Amino acid sequence: MSPRAWAVTALVVLFAAVAAFAAAKIPWHRAPAPRADQLDALSRLDAEQVERARDFHGELRPGRYAAMAIGLSMAAVLGLTPIGARLVSAVGDHWLVQAVFGGLLVVLVTELVTLPIAIWRHTVVVRYGISTQSWSGWAVDMLKSYAVGAVLGGLVLAGFFTITHFAPDWWWAFASAGVAGLVVLLSFVLPVLVEPIFNKFTPMAEGPLRTELLALAERDGVPVRDVLVADASRRTRAVNAYVSGLGPTRRIVVYDTMLTEATPDEVVSVTAHELGHAKDNDVLTGTVIGALGAAASVIVLYLIGSWGGLLRLADVESIGEPRAIGLLLVLTTIAGLVAGPAQAFVSRRVEARADTHALDLTGDPETFEAMQRRLGTVNLSDPDPPHWEHAMFASHPSTVQRMAAARAYARGAR
């Protein structure tokens, strides 16, 4: 068979593998959250706080959609016209120089165009009291983010175009295997190497809460290496906790804001939710699906990239050459927008299962409901967002959905 026929075959196999794995590992059914309970929970929330949260999201909403529109427009300009190819060519003639520095230049242009929206967003979150960062602190974090992205992006670009350069007919096979391996590798190393760049982590002081969290993990059968406190207060007033890492790198991380804003029982409730992700291997499931999906995406790029009309628009001869980075950008941007709602749907199902796990582990739906109320209040979450927006973007059930699920659980337990 030709390389293209093998690519189609491999793509079918990967899609089948993703579908089978997702069918087995994703919780497609969620715990009940009756709408009547949602409305009752909403009515019991502080009306002024609810209005303030909705005003907050109302102010952020135009920027979100503007950033999406500008990002897509810039990708189209760079990928569906010769402009992107000319930008890449401007950095030099050598293919590796074009791959790394040309690629980073294309990304930098898109970041700079949307930078004013990021600046405007920071003014909003500061005005509403969510962010505690000064402009200098915010700028330093932005530069750190750019630096991390440049290092990782440069390595990926160099690896990808080295493969396309030396295996022009079969690069899709090597690149798909490589990107799948990279997704798995980053799942292990990012929590250890990247998280400390943005936050300082210190072991939680010995005391009843630390003892209870470790005992909770042991009772749940989820081994954790440590309980850490992140200095989130230096940038935000939001509260959160999570279980980070896989295997020997797994640790419970609690925001320092959580320790000051929430009761110990509420910290335990949130941690029980996060342990649910570890118990059900949600990170591993996401890693496997991400790896298979990334491999399939490379093959799709290879197949679509052979379309002569696209190549002529971008003024390139092949999607495997560095000058086609703009074309790669627009295709991946469109793919991200299309896949976003499906990813959000899956995420909500996974989060709902973790909520049920927390309720089972603690047996305390009242504290769970109180914690959801506190999370929504402190983090200024819209407790009952517009249905279409929630379906498109929300990675978690809404505040009132989670409160209603706790009430339904309590009735079932009784």
Does the annotation mark 274 as catalytic? yes
Find the catalytic residue in 256, 321, 355, 382.
355
Task: Say which DSSP state 323 is in.
Answer: G
From CA 193, how far away is CA 383, in angstroms rounded?
A: 34
- Give the containing element (helix H, strand E) for 57: helix 47-79
Q: Is 369 annotated as a binding residue?
A: no
Q: Which phi and psi angles does 315 have, rounded to 5°?
A: 60, 45
Quick check: helix, strand or coil at residue 254? Answer: strand
- Give the containing element (helix H, strand E) for 308: helix 308-314
Q: The tokens of 92 are what?
A: 């030099």
Find the catalytic residue in 274, 282, 364, 382.
274
Q: Which residues pair with 230 in a beta bridge?
A: 201, 255
Does the annotation mark 280 as catalytic? no
Describe the strand order of the beta sheet including 241-244 as a list of residue ranges.
201-203, 227-230, 251-255, 241-244
What is the rounded radius of gyration, in angstroms, for the C-alpha atoms of the chain?
23
CB 340 within 8 A of CB 79: no
Task: Say which DSSP state 65 is in.
Answer: H
Find tokens 């960062």 and name the residue.
133
CB 321 within 8 A of CB 95: yes
Q: How many residues make up the chain in this entry?
A: 414
CB 117 within 8 A of CB 67: yes
Q: Which phi and psi angles does 30 have, rounded to 5°?
A: -120, 160
Q: Is 351 annotated as a binding residue?
A: yes
CB 314 within 8 A of CB 84: yes
Task: Say which DSSP state 322 is in.
Answer: G
- The count of other CB atoms within 10 Å of the CB of residue 159 is 16
Catalytic residues: 274, 355
* Residues contributing to the annotated binding site for Zn(2+): 273, 277, 351
* Residues contributing to the annotated binding site: 273, 277, 351
